[in-house]
Chains A and B, each alone.
Chain A
Amino acid sequence: MSADERIPAALRALAGHGVHGASVDAEGHQREIAAIRVSAGDWERMMGPDGTTVADAVKAAGFRYVALDLAPADAGG
Chain B
Amino acid sequence: MVLQRGAGELTTVTGEKRERLEAILRECESVVIGYSGGVDSVFLARVAVEVLGAGRVLAVTGKSDSVASWMEDTAREVARDFDIPWLEVETREMDDPRYAANPSNRCYFCKSELWTRLASVAREHGFKTVLDGSNADDVGDHRPGAVAAAENAVRSPLLEAGLTKAEIRAWSHELGLPTWDQPAAPCLASRLPYGIAVTPQRLRQVERAELALRALGFRDFRVRHHGDVARLEVHPSEIDRVAGHRAAIHAAVLKAGFRRALVDLQGYRRGALNEGLMATQLVQLGAAA
Contact = CB atoms under 8 A, between A and B. Distances in A.
B196 A29 contact: yes
A70 to B, nearest CB: 4
Tell me the interface secondary structure of chain B in the complex.
mixed
B53 interface: no
Contact of A66 (B232, B243, B247, B264): B264
Nearest to A47: B243
Contact of A44 (B243, B247, B253): B243
Given A47-B239, A64-B275, A64-B276, A29 B263 contact: no
Contacts, number: 80
B260 A69 contact: yes
A34 B196 CA distance: 19
B124 interface: no
A67 B265 contact: yes
A32 B273 CA distance: 12
B250 A70 contact: yes
Of A44, A51, A54, most buried by chain B (CB within 10 Å of CB) is: A51
Contacts of B246: 70, 72
Contacts of A54: 265
Of B229, B240, B249, most buried by chain A (CB within 10 Å of CB) is: B229
Interface residues of B, number: 28
B261 interface: yes
A72 B251 CA distance: 10
B231 interface: yes
Of B239, B240, B263, most buried by chain A (CB within 10 Å of CB) is: B263
A33 B272 CA distance: 13
Given A33-B231, A67-B231, A72-B247, A48 B240 contact: yes
Contacts of B287: none
Contact of B266 (A27, A30, A35, A52): A52
B253 to A, nearest CB: 7
B260 A71 contact: yes
